[in-house]
A and B are shown apart, each in its own frame.
Chain A
Amino acid sequence: MSKLSFRARALDAAKPLPIYRGKDMPDLNDCVSINRAVPQMPTGMEKEEESEHHLQRAISAQQVFREKKESMVIPVPEAESNVNYYNRLYKGEFKQPKQFIHIQPFNLDNEQPDYDMDSEDETLLNRLNRKMEIKPLQFEIMVDRLEKASSSQLVTLQEAKLLLNEDDYLIKAVYDYWVRKRKNCRGPSLIPQIKQEKRDGSTNNDPYVAFRRRTEKMQTRKNRKNDEASYEKMLKLRREFSRAITILEMIKRREKTKRELLHLTLEVVEKRYHLGDYGGEILNEVKLNRPEKDMGTTPSSLHNGNHHKVQECKVKHPHHSSLKEEVADVVRQKKKYLKKPKLECVVTPQPLAEPLPVLSKSDIKQYDFHSSDEDEFPQVPSPMSEAEEENDPDGPCAFRRRAGCQYYAPRLDQTNPSYEGPELAELDKLRFRHCLTTLTIPRRCIGFARRRIGRGGRVIMDRISTEHDPVLRQIDPEMLNTFSSSSQTLDFSSNFSRTNASNKHCENRLSLPEILSNIRSCRLQCFQPRLLNLQDSDSEECTSRKAGQTVNNKRVSAASVALLSTSKNGISVTGGITEEQFQTHQQQLVQMQRQQLAQLQQKQQSQHSSQQPHLKAQGSSTSDCMSKTLDSASAHFAASAVVSAPAPGRSEGTKEQNTSHNNINGVVQPSGTSRTLYSTNMALSSSPGISTVQLVRTVGHSTTNHLIPALCTSSPQPLPMNNSCLPSAVHLNNVSVVSPVNVHINTRTSAPSPTALKLATVAASMDRVPKVTPSSAISSIARENHEPERLGLNGIAETTVAMEVT
């Protein structure tokens, strides 16, 4: 076998290698040299250095002798270790601690100057020391500061004086010396320093530049695209941050202005109080005399007293009717058309009213503050306090987006009128949420209502007023029982409209027989309690069961989302109805109905102005007892409603708008206040108007404890109210019954509690008596129960809105 043909296997690091020693060593002469099989490992040296003389000599010497010989050592430049002054230089001794030395690396930087004095400096120091005392360290600190303060440009003497906290003469001496020395210095600084890199890369090849920063991170992968993207992201981030800063600055400015305004308002109010200008006349005079400053704003009418209420209603109706067709429009359009009412309100000449004082927006604003500020005194807040945020171009019916709400597009299938008759359309709308409902006790039809389960499982009836109410009320459950036991739950949504669409009604209202026939023919849904429970007098359980049945029967429409939303309504806040309450309520309703009807007839012909004393009387008498107050209030309400009642056709428009408004706006959370008030408005505008009054009444009565919440309806957190406030709560109720007439209050959707306060203010102002009890009571309630912030600043709500916008 030829040696040359033999080829060894590769060396396997995992394979055990037997070790042969000394005498055991086999004769390796036969063996192939290892060098053939195992590739020679590199030395790890630079090739040309590997060949260096001394190394090769050393290596070969080691190979031969297996041990270094002295002469075979690689020569190096010599080093000496004979610094004889060492002990003088390094003074003192250092005892080795028992423990390992541990050092906090960041504590190493002591405050010692980096500059070390040399012998040249010493000469100067000696010279200076003849005149003054200067220690080496002191000198070093001075030079150190001068050096560190100057770059290529030396600091000036003036700057030096600022830098050094020394005697002027000393500074001058050291400075001059330093400048001289610096000029002669070979290096860039008297403190020798490693040359630093320059950003422009010009120092890349400078051998004296060392310890460059590692600007680029070690890359495992190069992705320039990614770099670019992240760079752009950073840029964007930066932009956005700077925007945020700007916005915050602006907010800060705005809030400051607001505070100023608040203070000014306070001042004005105080001044007015001292002047006794409770009605705002002096202020208005002043205002009128001044040229109109705010050019971009339309002066809003000052709603003063009772006239105003009527006007508003009057103004509203034509508008609504004219916009009836737009109901089906989408939200945006809605918004647009909502914008108009205010303008109309404002612009429409008021023939009946006395010339109204004109207020600039700022004044209105003032009273926003005012209403919450002035709680200490039983003073009548100014009538214009109910005026709304002037900045809102959408006017009273503004739709405001709220944070955290989700808004859906309007459901066109609901609002789409496939029928011609306006009143039918109206009914059709109602049926989406409200059904003709009959109660067991008292056995009668309460008109359109819907049922909800309130807190603690209590059953709440939301009633809605229609112009059919008087007719509907005549419906006796007996009438229905005769035929409709099976038809209750039928869904008639489709055929109702169709059937009725064919019937063209010239009148606005359906007659009783018509309705009945509709019910019979299942075109109109009617709920009524089950007959077997009818005679159960002590039937809390039964009532609930009835209610439960009603719920079951009730067709849950597609708009059930809206149901949810309406729970924000004041009614829902009331918390539910006990059976007892319910019964009393029903009785009261009947009573009220009668009264109101009576009043209606009585007052129908009476003049507009005649209401005023009446109202006053009512207002002042409210504190007596609850039921009475309510009655009188509702009576008053009805009266005013009658007076202001427009043509029936117009009221339909209102209703329609109302309904559609609910549909559109109410998907998540329409403001409860606006809703309630809307219905109130509706009631006022429609000639009977009773059911709405009842509605409000229901609120007030069923939960006396929650009166305020019911009124301050859209407040996210109902205000806590205890029983002690009851009497005043009654007043509040009364007031609220009256006040919703104001269009402006309706607009106040986002800041409910100020609205409530304003209601009170309005009520008080309507009476035109400075010390009217209701208003003062209300304000005191407000004072007690509102959180101060909310009192002081309806601006909070504004702030929120503003933030959303930005």
Chain B
Amino acid sequence: MAEVGSGRGGAARRGFGELGTPRTPRGAGPDEAPPPQGEVSEGCRLPVLRRNQDNEDEWPLAEILSVKDISGRKLFYVHYIDFNKRLDEWVTHDRLDLKRVQVPRKEAKTPTKNGLPGSRPGSPDRDPNGSARRAVAAQPGRKRKSACLGTDEDSQDSSDGAPSAPRMTGSLVSDRSHDDIVTRMKNIECIELGRHRLKPWYFSPYPQELTGLPVLYLCEFCLKYGHSLRCLQRHLTKCDLRHPPGNEIYRKGTISFFEIDGRKNKSYSQNLCLLAKCFLDHKTLYYDTDPFLFYVMTEYDCKGFHIVGYFSKEKESTEDYNVACILTLPPYQRRGYGKLLIEFSYELSKVEGKTGTPEKPLSDLGLLSYRSYWSQTILEILMGLKAEAGERPQITINEISEITSIKKEDVISTLQYLNLINYYKGQYILTLSEDIVEGHERAMLKRLLRIDAKCLHFTPKDWSKRGKW
């Protein structure tokens, strides 16, 4: 347990500690004595000017995570409290409201577990549901341990045999309380991928020497990274891939899906994971890609099969996960591709004859997408049910689950979310209100991209018989 943080993380934290400034736990009131101007440092909280999507100026509270000096000009890496990390950014001095700085208190009465004042409360007591799920997901290991980690908290990990290593199943970490400052900050400014320039949302462990570059150049097809356009040019003379290096298992129109084995095609899988990590906060790249399959969705044009999004899937999941990580690349977002990916993942589960659920935790976008998919899928079924012989149509939750391959719990949560399930005259009933029906019909009109099961050429493999992964 006495895991010492890596040099980088440790140094960062030590530096943080040496500041000598009192830390303020989350939610603590502002300190009475504001520090003099110019002494804004890591850990301070202050309103930072931010322009919202409606182009309005806001001054949300933000936390300074890092300060850097570029040619005499100070830049502050800020995290907006109660906003997603993907919106964190480097800001100049003039966007800080220095009059309202909250300096972190030195010794908080209830010291936070992670020792990091941040958006994540270290408090272990969460609501019962959340903590229960967390316990399952986080179980034997954590992504990282820090030097200031309390031994009591992770004492159960010692039974694992690899106390400092995270669990080896799954692709996501749910407990980020031990993230160090490095992983909390975006490290890639911009990625050029084919026609697109992507602004990463999160940290990704690309080779460190590539992190300071204004643009990281990726080969659109093999996802290899280079530090300059010239490198990419040179690479393209040698790379003849025009599609993901896997087997095409689905094609309808311009949409294709490729299956890539994380063990057989390591370099592509790793490159894909590095790219995906830029947009998936909870994704972990701690371990190799061997136990995963990657399903890459592409859109074809005359240049080749362009990656749109992907999802990964454990070859063998002990927890009914049919998706590990799922991502629609930002340029393709909000165009229905996410739902297409989700639909495809359930189609695979249907072929396998299993129900499945995405690995937790879900991101905000993930939750919205899944809820939307579940809602539409379940409503589709419910509305398709016809009354038989004057009888009111009825269906069990298990039946819904079987038809859709959506795990039972997800069906229930969706029914709850849609407020369809009600208790009436001693039994549960499903009620489809008018606005639900209307809303669904409208949504389905917009949902043009659908998976056609006939176009899927997929034979599930029994990975348990193939040795390990």
Residues of A within 8 A of B (CB): 8-9, 11-22, 24-26, 28, 31-32, 34-35, 37-55, 58-59, 62, 65-67, 71, 73-83, 86-87, 89-91, 93-96, 100-103, 105-106, 108, 110, 112-113, 116-119, 122, 136-137, 140, 185-187, 192-195, 201-219, 222
Contacts and interface: CB of A to CB of B under 8 A. Distances in A.
Contacts of B238: 110, 112-113, 116, 137
Interface in B279-311: 282, 285-291, 300, 302-305
A45 B133 CA distance: 10
Given A11-B421, A19-B395, A26-B424, 15 more contacts: A11-B412, A13-B408, A26-B429, A44-B367, A45-B364, A55-B84, A65-B439, A71-B53, A77-B87, A79-B196, A79-B330, A86-B195, A101-B256, A103-B247, A216-B168
Nearest to B132: A42
Given A16-B395, A19-B432, A90-B220, A28 B249 contact: no
Max chain B CB contacts within 10 Å: which of A47, A186, A193, A219? A47
B432 A210 contact: no
20 contacts: A13-B401, A19-B429, A20-B431, A26-B425, A34-B419, A42-B130, A53-B83, A55-B364, A77-B87, A81-B197, A94-B305, A108-B267, A116-B235, A136-B237, A186-B209, A205-B146, A206-B6, A206-B8, A210-B270, A212-B287
Interface string B43-83: 00000000011100000000000000000000000000011
B135 interface: no
A89 to B, nearest CB: 6
A79 B258 contact: no
Contacts of B416: 34-35, 38, 40-41
Nearest to A112: B238
A22 B129 contact: no
Nearest to B246: A103
Contacts of A209: 205
Leading 10 A-B pairs by shortest Cβ distance: A41-B413, A187-B209, A66-B439, A105-B264, A94-B242, A186-B209, A210-B285, A77-B199, A13-B397, A192-B207
A83 B424 contact: no
B392 A19 contact: yes
A19 B303 contact: no
Contacts of A86: 194-195
Contacts of B146: 205
A45 B304 CA distance: 36
Given A41-B416, A54-B364, A195 B230 contact: no
Interface stretch (B94-102, B157-165, B340-348): B157-165
A79 B331 contact: yes
Given A26-B424, A210-B274, A81 B331 contact: yes
Contact of B207 (A25, A44, A87, A195): A195
A18 B368 contact: no
Max chain B CB contacts within 10 Å: which of A38, A67, A75, A207? A207
Max chain B CB contacts within 10 Å: which of A87, A105, A216? A105
A607 B239 CA distance: 104
Nearest to B391: A18
A140 B288 CA distance: 28
A45 B433 contact: no
Given A19-B430, A22-B434, A90-B220, A75 B87 contact: yes
Nearest to B82: A53
A8 B423 contact: yes
A116 B226 contact: yes
Contact of A89 (B84, B233, B394, B413): B233
B208 interface: yes
B313 interface: no
A195 B205 contact: yes
Interface string B1-34: 0011111110000000000000000000000000
Nearest to A140: B234
Q: How large is the interface on B (under 10, 10 to 19, 20 to 34, 35 or more residues)?
A: 35 or more
A122 B233 CA distance: 12
B339 interface: no
A430 B203 CA distance: 97
Contacts of A210: 205, 270, 273-274, 285-286
B330 A194 contact: no
Given A17-B394, A54-B83, A208-B205, A34 B412 contact: no
B437 interface: yes
B393 interface: yes
Contact of A214 (B168, B245, B364): B168
Given A17-B397, A118-B230, A136-B234, A108 B245 contact: yes
Contacts of B273: 210-211
B330 to A, nearest CB: 4
Given A22-B433, A194-B270, A207 B264 contact: no
B333 A76 contact: yes
B345 to A, nearest CB: 15
A216 B162 contact: yes
Interface string B207-232: 11110100000001000011111111
Interface in B191-206: 192, 194-201, 203, 205-206
A205 B3 contact: yes
A39 B422 CA distance: 13
Nearest to B159: A222
A84 to B, nearest CB: 9
A102 B364 contact: no
Contact of A13 (B228, B330, B412): B412
A215 B165 CA distance: 11
Contacts of A44: 133, 358, 360-362, 367, 370
B197 A117 contact: no
Interface in B244-289: 245-249, 251, 256, 258, 260-261, 264-268, 270, 273-274, 282, 285-289
Contact of B145 (A21, A78, A192, A205): A205
A28 B422 contact: yes
B360 to A, nearest CB: 4
A88 B238 CA distance: 15
A502 B437 CA distance: 122
Contact of A79 (B199, B209, B291, B468): B199
Contacts of B385: 19
B398 interface: yes
A15 to B, nearest CB: 6
Given A18-B394, A20-B432, A31-B423, A82 B195 contact: yes
A5 B366 CA distance: 39
A646 to B, nearest CB: 76
Interface string B325-344: 00001110110000000000
A16 B208 contact: no
A194 B205 contact: yes
B261 A105 contact: yes
Contact of A75 (B53, B265, B396, B410): B53
Max chain A CB contacts within 10 Å: which of B265, B266, B382, B429? B429
B9 to A, nearest CB: 6
A49 B363 contact: yes
B462 interface: no
A212 B288 contact: yes
A42 B174 CA distance: 14
Contacts of A211: 266, 270, 273, 285, 287-289
B120 interface: yes
A17 B330 CA distance: 40
A52 B80 CA distance: 10
Given A14-B398, A21-B437, A206-B8, A83 B226 contact: no
Nearest to A96: B300
Interface string B418-449: 01011111111111111111111011000000
A213 B87 CA distance: 33
Contacts of B401: 13
Contacts of B403: none
A556 B233 CA distance: 97
Nearest to A17: B430
Given A38-B412, A192-B227, A17 B428 contact: yes
